[in-house]
Structure 1
């Protein structure tokens, strides 16, 4: 049974149709039982203005020499391939990422109706009327640290999914989505294991390009983003 690819993005605005782009993307991979396998994050240079810095905290200096989406597209597709993609208000992230993949010539099965949305699940599993990520985490007793960073929000969303797996029926009612994810037609290249793209340390100045398996503290940046990394637990 396939596992889950929980993701979140930070973007320059609200719609790829008007030229907005992805600034940061993070993925936490869970196995089919909800156990964390790997997490990965990167800042991206969108090739345009960064949008509302007061929300995401990502300044032009931080991403000036960050990779473009084309540089990480193959590896991101590899992470998502064969897994059920999960997000909080996942339609937003799926729309942006589908547009980014399309722009680099990759046809990927990343549409909202193929994904699992923890915001939608909250309507049936959590008591309060608020469905923001922060409110849902509070209701479920899930830690939500470093809000409005892609990795912080992805970890929180993964925690919500783990809560729903623990407190919901078995098998999960989204089993059909799960099975469809295993058969989804990702590009053949995504099924292989591409070399990870270079790690990116933010902070306004390039501090070095590291192997993704490396773990190094980032310098003190405007927002203190964590380094891009892969951590296997």
Structure 2
């Protein structure tokens, strides 16, 4: 199995403040990438801060999405992409790219990604939050930390 798993933490709306990406080749994790991202105007919702614990002072000097994008692109381009609740994360990527004038089709990835929520729901698991799936499958998780979430998603996909 060869694919890339991705997770974003968001500051407000679809604006990411962190990304975690895990690259899997032939069933083995070969690369992990995580970075903070400065959202536009470094604005956050109190709700998202409560979820992931990332505050504006953490990203005040971080790179923008456009500056981080080359790292994202080299890990996603021409790959099968996997996410837990793929439509949300695909939307974050697409809207962030559009905001900076980047063309999603340049990534050459599927319009719909592989989704571990859908996979585990089809297996009868309820509820299918990432933490529930990881507990059921005995996968270590530091929930709402982008790299831990992406790694857990990759492991869930490997076990599908």
TM-score by length of 2: 0.89
In the alignment, structure 1 segments of 5+ residues that lack a partner are 165-233
Aligned mates of 1:64, 1:135 — CA distance in 2: 33
Corresponding position of 2:113: 115
Post-superposition Cα deviations, 1:100-136, rounded to whole Å, max 9, x if no partner, equal: 11122221147884310000000223x4321100111
Does the residue aligned with 1:114 lie in a helix, a strand or coil?
coil
Aligned mates of 1:55, 1:42 — CA distance in 2: 17
Bigger helix fraction: 2
Do structure 1's residue 27 and structure 2's residue 21 form an aligned pair? yes
Corresponding position of 1:130: 127
Do 1:5 and 1:86's aligned partners in 2 also have CA atoms closer than 8 Å? yes
1:50 to 16, 19, 44: 44
Bigger strand fraction: 2
Aligned mates of 1:116, 1:104 — CA distance in 2: 25
Do 1:86 and 1:118's aligned partners in 2 also have CA atoms closer than 8 Å? yes
Do 1:95 and 1:112's aligned partners in 2 also have CA atoms closer than 8 Å? no
In the alignment, structure 2 segments of 5+ residues that lack a partner are none
Aligned mates of 1:136, 1:8 — CA distance in 2: 15
Runs ≥4 residues deviating over 3 A = 109-113
TM-score by length of 1: 0.62
Do 1:8 and 1:151's aligned partners in 2 also have CA atoms closer than 8 Å? yes
RMSD: 1.8
Aligned length: 155
Do 1:90 and 1:112's aligned partners in 2 also have CA atoms closer than 8 Å? no
Corresponding position of 2:2: 3
Aligned mates of 1:61, 1:72 — CA distance in 2: 18
